[in-house]
Structure 1
Amino acid sequence: MTIARTATPSTARAINDRLALDLLLTRGPLTAPELRTLTGLSRPTVADLLERLQRGGLVAVVGESGEQRRGPNARLYALVADRAHLGGIDVRSTGVSLVIADLTGRTLATAEIPAGPEHGDDLAERTVRALLDAAEQVGVKHLHTVAVGAPGVVDPTTGVLNNSGQLPRWHAELLDALRAQPETEVILENEVNLAGIAEHRIGAAQGREDFVLLWLGHGVGASVVLNGRLRRGASGGTGEIGFLPVPGTGMLPNATGCDGGFHSMVASAAICELARAHGLTVPEGGPVEQAEEVLRSALAADATAFLDELADRIAIGVAAVCVVIDPGCVVLGGEIGRAGGAALAARVERRLADLSPFRTEVRAGSAGGGAVLAGAVLTAGDAVRRDLFGEP
């Protein structure tokens, strides 16, 4: 027999408060009548929670609605956006991008910190200084939480980045320097996972309970969302698809390197090699920029043979994922996915239909080039709101 449990008054108040705060976050300023309609709560309950949230400094009156009638019910209530501030950081081998945001996720400041021999070896120190300077310039005295996206495997139990000898030393130094900041929580997450969070919440995978983000750029990775939840795996290695053994590479990957795996077929350097093999001109620049430009040019010129072979290569890796977890939707992200857009996604989807027994929609990512930073802000914002609003 199941015994129904009745929520205590304090629990009910916490649930109602969180419900109202989430509505104010997602919908913006609302009147008390609007909150009553959206929550189904009574007039006294809404009045009580608004008074309580104002006392706690989370909600404030920001004006009046456009209704003819004036009075308490016409007041507009909104979250106090500067109640807490947060940061997002995208760590790459070429440098660091960062953003400062308020409680609602609105961007207040951004900064770019380049890496390389010509910039010195103090990147960790320069990044922390840039973060604090950017915050100070917009009047932010304290960052509640900073979410960091970095390449590599992040242990889901310890939060430690598994370097495997592949990442620059300053990556670990930066994390240590950030964690040394007083009273600031630091959340470390794989950068492709953060991009997947962005595509799920604000991008091409909105409304999907199951999907895979395939990140195509300098390297190759994937973010897996099933039943609406990001999946990391026992050691944090879910999505390390660059190591996937595939036909056509002439060798196998190993425990310390993905050469010979899927990475060798669709990473930026491989795309440039494929373009040259098809007689296409590859411009000067870094591998990622070269691959982006050659792909855009190929699409503009309708270089069918090159585009079809690239779609075939991508579809091989996607098919391997689909026959294991059947996500129903795959989003092509990263610099290459963004450059290929809907045209490349459509080609991959057609080829995938020949390889997999399951119908899978392939979409172009829409969270943009800042998907990792967007995911970092969303992740940090979730942590801040859990602390201030309580668990959902």
Structure 2
Amino acid sequence: MRIGGPRALRAMNDRASLQALALRGPMSRTELADEIGVSRPAAAELLRRLEQAQLVRPDGHQEHGGPGPNARLWRVNENRGHAVGVDVTTTSIDLAIVDLTGATVFETTLTGTTDDPIADLRRAVLEGAATLDLQVSELSCAVVGISGSIDPATGLLAHAEHMPQWLGFDVPARLSEALGIPVTVENDVNLVVVDEFMHGCARGRDDVLLLWMDQGVAAAIIVGGRVHRGARGAAGEIDAAPIGPDGVILGRLVDSVGVLALASASGVTATEASAAVRAATTAEDDGTDASTAAARFLTELAARIAQTLVIPVSLLDPQLVVLAGDIGVAGGDRLAGLVTTSLHGLVDNRPEVTPATGRADAVRHGAVDAAVRQMQEEIFG
């Protein structure tokens, strides 16, 4: 059965070329031909076609030091498209505008936002567009990360009582109307796992479970290389789930309040949960009361984390479990090792457990990655 003619083949080759150039950077015609598996004349023709469409541009010449002319280099025309990635919290808006290659060309952080966060976000986007000499309508799309889950049917934000200004309306629709461009709203922890998947400890893994432990507790899931959101966008919203016959709230076991209380009860003194975990992981095992308290605290914390993970790990069978948020990052390899031991004693499927990379601005970076993928799908397609 015929599934495509010359026009479809050209489109496939054009798309493959643009993706290769966006991923690898400038390449010669010969390098591009080898990369996507076409002849050099075919590569020359598609580059001519893409330059005519203003999707690629020359980028100097390749220095080879031998006789003969240097090969011309080509790159994606980075100015052909721009997109926006945003991290929205209760107190701030962290925003970046990127070009078609994903390079950041504008960034700003607004703190102490007003009673109208959508107006604040619009002002930030307008400022960025003006700085780049662009109209807002020239931006391809925006991805906004927010704490909570968006129902794909209604656009309503749920599991977000701490963000009352964002409740009770179709958030993506209102943002799209305010900005004048397509807006996707994504759970912030989902964007953290995207950042780890693209740039951090989860690279090369297709099935990943990320446990976020901070002021709240949540999970993010990658199945088959894609974020799993669930039927109503609420996959991973485990913070308020009751466990055990006493109805203990899962999130209270490993959130910042619960972990700090556990540290105090174990004899580890600190003013913040992440500081308690970090101090315990760096304490020397010298037989003193302090080292004994640190070991006791970490062992109990690891057991709590393993108990939190046992059901999702049994259901999902991930290759990798990532301990994220301030608590997971503070625990480092030592806490991850203790969780590994405890978890592997509870389940037969034994995933690797690792601390998150903990990259600064991970939510915004994840939003940028998602926005770039959307923009490239639109423009390269």
Whether the TM-score (by the shorter chain) exceeds 0.5 is: yes
User: Helix, strand or coil: the match of 1:232?
Assistant: coil
User: Helix, strand or coil: the match of 1:378?
Assistant: helix
Deviations 1:1-56 (A, max 9, x none): xxx32421111111001111111011110000001111110122111110111111
Q: Give the count of matched residue pairs.
A: 367
Range that drifts further, 292-301 or 120-129: 120-129
For 2:192 and 2:7, how far apart are their aligned partners in 1? 37
Q: Which of 20, 23, 43 is residue 17 of structure 2 equivalent to?
A: 20
Alignment check: 8 A CA contact 1:54 1:60 kept: yes
For 2:151 and 2:252, how far apart are their aligned partners in 1? 25
Alignment check: 8 A CA contact 1:244 1:317 kept: no
Evaluate the alpha carbon distance shift between residue 82 and residue 98 of structure 1 in structure 2; reply closer, same or farther with a 3 A threshold: same
Q: Which of 126, 132, 151 is residue 132 of structure 1 equivalent to?
A: 126
Q: Which of 304, 314, 318 is residue 313 of structure 1 equivalent to?
A: 304
Is 2:148 the counterpart of 1:152? yes
Percent of residue pairs identical: 36
Q: Which of 158, 163, 171 is residue 166 of structure 2 equivalent to?
A: 171
Evaluate the alpha carbon distance shift between residue 70 and residue 388 of structure 1 in structure 2; reply closer, same or farther with a 3 A threshold: farther
Q: CA deviation at 1:356?
A: 1.0
Q: Which of 261, 285, 301 is residue 249 of structure 2 equivalent to?
A: 261
Q: Which of 371, 376, 379 is residue 385 of structure 1 equivalent to?
A: 376
User: Helix, strand or coil: the match of 1:355?
Assistant: coil
Q: Which of 47, 51, 71 is residue 50 of structure 1 equivalent to?
A: 47
Mapping of residues 138-217 of structure 1, within 5 Å: 138-142=132-136, 143-158=139-154, 160-163=155-158, 166-172=161-167, 178-181=175-178, 183-217=180-214
Is 2:276 the counterpart of 1:282? no
User: Helix, strand or coil: the match of 2:239?
Assistant: helix
Q: CA deviation at 1:111?
A: 1.9
For 1:245 and 1:307, how far apart are their aligned partners in 2? 23
Q: Which of 36, 44, 52 is residue 39 of structure 1 equivalent to?
A: 36
Alignment check: 8 A CA contact 2:205 2:319 kept: no
For 1:26 and 1:120, how far apart are their aligned partners in 2? 39
RMSD after superposition: 2.1
For 2:67 and 2:177, how far apart are their aligned partners in 1? 53
Q: CA deviation at 1:127?
A: 2.7
Alignment check: 8 A CA contact 1:97 1:113 kept: yes
- For structure 1, which runs of at least 5 residues remain unmatched after alignment? 253-259, 284-289
Q: CA deviation at 1:251?
A: 4.3
TM-score between the two structures when normalised by the length of structure 1: 0.88
Evaluate the alpha carbon distance shift between residue 84 and residue 337 of structure 1 in structure 2; reply closer, same or farther with a 3 A threshold: same
Q: Which of 231, 237, 249 is residue 234 of structure 2 equivalent to?
A: 237
Q: CA deviation at 1:277?
A: 1.3
Alignment check: 8 A CA contact 2:206 2:319 kept: no
Evaluate the alpha carbon distance shift between residue 382 and residue 70 of structure 1 in structure 2; reply closer, same or farther with a 3 A threshold: farther
For 1:126 and 1:84, how far apart are their aligned partners in 2? 24
For 1:22 and 1:319, how far apart are their aligned partners in 2? 39
Q: Which of 63, 69, 75 is residue 66 of structure 1 equivalent to?
A: 63
For 1:23 and 1:193, how far apart are their aligned partners in 2? 26
Deviations 1:276-330 (A, max 9, x none): 21222222xxxxxx22222222222251111111111111111111111111211
For 2:159 and 2:280, how far apart are their aligned partners in 1? 36
For 2:179 and 2:273, how far apart are their aligned partners in 1? 42
Evaluate the alpha carbon distance shift between residue 7 and residue 69 of structure 1 in structure 2; reply closer, same or farther with a 3 A threshold: farther
Q: Which of 301, 304, 313 is residue 283 of structure 2 equivalent to?
A: 301
For 2:341 and 2:182, how far apart are their aligned partners in 1? 45
Alignment check: 8 A CA contact 1:197 1:375 kept: yes
For 1:164 and 1:210, how far apart are their aligned partners in 2? 25
Mapping of residues 348-359 of structure 1, within 5 Å: 348-359=339-350
For 2:53 and 2:180, how far apart are their aligned partners in 1? 20
TM-score between the two structures when normalised by the length of structure 2: 0.90
Q: Output the amino acid matched with 1:148.
A: V
User: Helix, strand or coil: the match of 1:242?
Assistant: coil
